[in-house]
Structure 1
Amino acid sequence: MPHRFSFASTFVNRSIIGSVYLAVLLIFFAAQMLFTTFLTLPPLSVFLLVAFASSLRLIEIFYAEQIVTKDESRSQRFAVSSIAWTLVLALLLAVLTRQPDTHYFGMLILPVLEAAIYFSFAITLLISAAASAVSLFWVAYAANFSPPFQSGEILEASTLVLVYFIVGCLVWLLVHMLRDREEQLRQQLYDLEATRSKLIEEEKLAAIGRLASAVAHEIRNPVAIISSALETAASASFASREREEMSRIAGMEAKRLEKLTTDFLSYAGPGNASFQQLDATALVGYIVSIVQPQALQKDLQIEVKMCDTCCVYGNEGQLQQVLLNLMRNAIEASPQSGSILIAVVNQSRKALQIRIENAGPAIPRRVADHIFEPFFTAKEGGTGLGLAIARSIVDRHHGELHLERNDTDHIVFTIRVPSIDGEDTVQTHIVREL
């Protein structure tokens, strides 16, 4: 269950409350100056008191974060001081003004509102009663405590008392409703996060189950063949030539099983390979030189476009594995005497793109939608882990690998990885024309 914070400590900023207090004080003082200019200026003591009260509120505004934290008890203690000071301030301003009629008691609505925000309903009523007592006290004070009191003053004070209690009750009710709504929202968010975590965990378990099922399916066939071949090779009822052939088949299936296991570990294991700054031009050039003999067998032309300075931060062996896988796929998919384009460009100062494009028939839609899934393959004898491993490696490099274009004679795979400052000048090199 999440920790419960009060509505006030969570959403009401003390700097906002201080700003409201300051604005109201200055407005009331400006109103006094405006309506008494033609009669007489307020005493100097009023100016000094307003200046002092304004200074306190300015300190509260600028140092609100240091004065009050999310500690609810500390917020409430400061609120008590603020409320008490405002009650005293309104009375002092009325007394120092030296006029029987004063508007400063309108400021007492602010302590009532602050009590409704920070405290219980009973305390809100108590502060409303305190503000009412100050207003009624002024009626007696203005008449020198000698009844009968003026009916107009009594009516004005009674109206203020009514306003204090009505506003205090309504604001407390609204704040209480908001506080309950906030708590409900917090609980819903907590429940939602718990549900989300549970779903993620279940999805992980389901993914592990699917992966284990796929691994078991892929391993079952070579294991069954090996077992059958070894039984045949060990049986004296078969000729020597047949037993030798079965031994050879068992060895081939064992190698296939070893490759499958290696590919699976490459896909599943996060690895602890170190990263370093790499020259993308050299990286691509090395891979092109490796696949060149395979390209020669199909009379393919490999065209390379590279930046002058294209650098990436990554693991050389892993990125070579990705490029080698994509280039071999491109060679296998290309028609005889076709061409393959591999381009390295800086998309921006922070992103490097490697595009591998080949001719040939488009990948069927039903296949293209699943080519990055583990153990999915449309090639006879394939493990279905090549592209899944490639994408996993690119993900570890905080990059993206996707099939950008899938049209006839325009099949484009794109790798996008973070780069280290490079220039966008591109030079075209024909590696070999056949």
Structure 2
Amino acid sequence: MATTLTLLGGTVPAPRAARLHALKNCLAVIIAVQKLLEREVTGQSRERLQRAQDAAARMRGLLEEDLTRSSRADDAKFCSSEEIAQDMVRRVEDRAEASGVQLLVRCGSRGLRGVRSELVEALANLVLNAIDVTPRGAAVQVSLDDTADGAHLWTVQDSGPGMPREVVAHLGTPFCSRKEGGWGLGLAVVQSIVKRHGGLIRIESSPASGTLASVYFPSSADS
């Protein structure tokens, strides 16, 4: 029996940018303390400190990227679905080739209004996760379509083994994993982008048919 999860979209709360800045300030304190500790630790402890510093640097990069996105809402413009699909393929084709997975992409949509780089990132994340669970020699099917009511629908269908109900229920939670490489953080990124574009995500999974990820953007997101 198929299990379904719908992740609702919506607008980003106004205090979000302030929270991001607060997190960045807290992280700056952590990084400063790590710098001071460099003088005091040696050997294996120094290696552990370096790993912590690397993680803090990655976190700072993510926060800065998110702050940049929050400040560029006015960058939204009409994006060609064909160009979004082409950019996505360029990002994932090496992974698909290395995994022996075929990409079948169909683009029946003219396009939608949004931030192109974010839309490409969202679609690529879904496709990369699908590739990672699809057996060698099988295919991942991707479609970008317009609906009868003028909205936009993306679908990504893998050929994997499907997911248990309890895993589907926690998708979108960072570090929840459907595979060794992790699905939850990737889907959390997708969910955040889709929210900013007023859309929603629906995940359907069954052992018989694999997993289908559907992303719906309302017609109001169009140009």
Above 0.5 in TM-score?
Answer: yes
Supply the distance in 1 between the matched residues of 2:63 and 2:207 (Cα, whole angstroms). 30
Query: Is 1:279 matched with 2:80?
Result: yes
Report which structure shows greater RCO (CA 8 Å, sep ≥6): 2
Q: How big is the shift at 1:354?
A: 0.7
Instruction: Pick one of 63, 77, 97 that aligns with 1:296.
Output: 97
The answer to whether the 8 Å contact 2:163/2:210 transfers is no
Larger Rg: 1
Query: With structure 2 as the length reference, what TM-score do the two structures score?
Result: 0.70
Deviation at 1:305, TM superposition (A): 0.9
> Partners in 2 of 1:365 and 1:266 — Cα distance?
33
Is the Cα contact below 8 Å between 2:107 and 2:144 reproduced in 1?
A: yes
Distance 1:383 1:399, change over 3 A: closer
Q: Does structure 1 residue 259 correspond to structure 2 residue 76?
A: no
Alignment correspondent of 2:187: 387
The match for 1:306 among 103, 107, 114 is 107
CA distance in 2, matches of 1:343, 1:374: 26
Any idea what SS the aligned residue of 1:348 has? coil
* AA in 2 matched with 1:258: A
Query: Residue 171 of structure 2 contacts residue 183 of structure 2 at CA under 8 Å; is this kept in 1?
Result: no
Listed one character per residue, the Cα deviations across residues 380-420 of structure 1 (whole Å, up to 9, x for unaligned) are 57594321221121111111112034444421101111354
Deviations 1:277-330 (A, max 9, x none): 0001110111112111111111110001111x5210000121122112111111
Change beyond 3 A, Cα 1:351–1:364: same
- The residue number in structure 2 matching 1:415 is 215
The answer on whether the counterparts of 2:152 and 2:218 sit within 8 Å (CA) in structure 1 is yes
Cα distance, 1:356 vs. partner?
A: 0.5
Q: Secondary structure at the match of 2:100?
A: coil
Q: Secondary structure at the match of 1:362?
A: coil
CA distance in 1: counterparts of 2:133 and 2:66, whole angstroms: 23
Give 1:319's aligned residue.
119
Task: Give the alignment of 1:218-229 within 5 angstroms.
Answer: none
Give the 3-state SS of the residue equivalent to 2:70 in structure 1: coil
State the one-letter code of the partner of 1:281.
E
Residue correspondence of structure 1 range 1-400 to structure 2 within 5 A: 234-235=41-42, 243=43, 250-263=49-62, 271-273=70-72, 274-307=75-108, 309-348=109-148, 350-378=150-178, 384-400=184-200
State how far apart, in whole Å, the 2-side matches of 1:251 and 1:338 are: 41
Q: Shift of the alpha carbon at 1:369?
A: 0.4
CA–CA distance in 1 between the matches of 2:176 and 2:64?
16
Cα contact 1:260–1:383 (8 A) shared by 2: no
| CA 1:265–1:277: 2 relative to 1, 3 Å | same
Per-residue deviation, 1:276 = 0.2
What is the alpha-carbon distance in structure 2 between the residues aligned to residue 263 and residue 323 of structure 1? 19
> Per the alignment, do residues 257 and 275 of structure 1 end up closer, same or farther by CA in structure 2, a change over 3 Å counting?
same
Q: Percent identity?
A: 22
RMSD over aligned CA atoms reads 3.6
SS in 2 for 1:289: helix
- String of CA shifts for 1:350-372, please: whole Å, max 9, x gaps: 21111011111111211110111
User: In 2 relative to 1, CA 334–260 (structure 1 residues): closer, same or farther, beyond 3 Å?
Assistant: farther
CA shift, 1:265, in A, is 6.7
**C-alpha separation in 1, matches of 2:201 and 2:155:** 10
Letter aligned with residue 71 of structure 2: N
The separation in 2 between residues aligned to 1:230 and 1:257, in whole angstroms, is 14
CA distance in 1, matches of 2:55, 2:212: 29
Distance 1:349 1:257 in 2: 45
Cα–Cα, structure 1 residues 283 and 404, in superposed 2: closer, same or farther, change >3 Å? same
1:255 to partner: Cα distance:
2.8
Structure in which a larger fraction of residues adopt helix:
1
Structure 1: gaps spanning 5 or more residues:
1-203, 209-214, 236-242, 422-434
Q: 1:252 to 1:328 in 2, by over 3 A?
A: farther
